[in-house]
Amino acid sequence: MTKMTLGSYPHMLGFEQLERLLERTAKSGNEGYPPFNIEQTSDFSYRITLAVAGFAEEDISITVEDRQLVIRGRQTDDSEGRVFLHRGIAARQFQRSFVLADGVDVGEAIIGNGLLHVDLTRAKPQSVVKTINIRKG
């Protein structure tokens, strides 16, 4: 059986990059931690909220790498000298990745009450009509 790609459809020109983005998203390997929400806050804005209880501002980094929003968290192990009778809260690291479409910009990030909010905005699309002149060859 032959794998169908976007390039194999004759009316889908220039979508090779979209296909690569879809493959990269499928391979991103995001596990279920930390849990997150994505909400649409207006017609052209979004908010990603991650549950990051126990992480301080300096434990989290947010970067945009090749049209991909990457949020990383790394807690320092502060258990030295402490004796735990039960340790159910582990200091673990995480990485969450979100592929951004063209025109989506990352705004501010706010942390509070164990939640990290990252605001995104999308440029309003402009309707473009272009007339192509035909010349004799």
Read off the pLDDT of residues 99-119 as tens digits, 9 standing for 90 and up. Answer: 898 899 999 999 999 999 999
- Domains and their CATH numbers in the chain: 1-30 (no CATH), 31-137 (2.60.40.790)
pTM of structure? 0.73
Determine the pLDDT at residue 79: 76
Mean pLDDT of 86-90: 81
Secondary structure E strands in the chain: 36-42, 45-51, 60-64, 68-73, 94-99, 104-112, 115-122
Which residue type is seen at 18?
L
Q: How confident is the model at residue 29 (pLDDT cuts 50, 70, 90)?
A: low
Taking the C-alpha atoms of residue 37 and residue 57, their distance in angstroms, rounded to an integer, is: 19
Q: Enumerate the β-bridge partners of residue 110.
A: 117
Closest CA to 119 of 134, 130, 109, 104: 109
Q: How confident is the model at residue 26 (pLDDT cuts 50, 70, 90)?
A: low
Mean pLDDT of 4-33: 66
Taking the C-alpha atoms of residue 98 and residue 48, their distance in angstroms, rounded to an integer, is: 10
